Structure 1
């Protein structure tokens, strides 16, 4: 099971910093200002 929280106004630079992603900001530019989900795995599927 996965729980996710929607976040408004996707900002590639902020997301890459907060999640410590090793991505070029340009790889995420297509999603700028979109809603995105921050997901947390609560329970593994059987």
Structure 2
């Protein structure tokens, strides 16, 4: 059986950040020491409907 690799292991940091910045929500990662490690550049977006 061939070992499956995780796609995330092959993304550059800039690619991952760009993908997370496109999410239509605020996203924040906090580590076990309660330190903010990442937040996306969420902006209010207008609904297309």
Question: TM-score by structure 2 length?
Answer: 0.22
Highest RCO, 1 vs 2 (Cα 8 Å, sep ≥ 6)? 1
**Structure index of larger Rg:** 2
Question: TM-score by structure 1 length?
Answer: 0.23
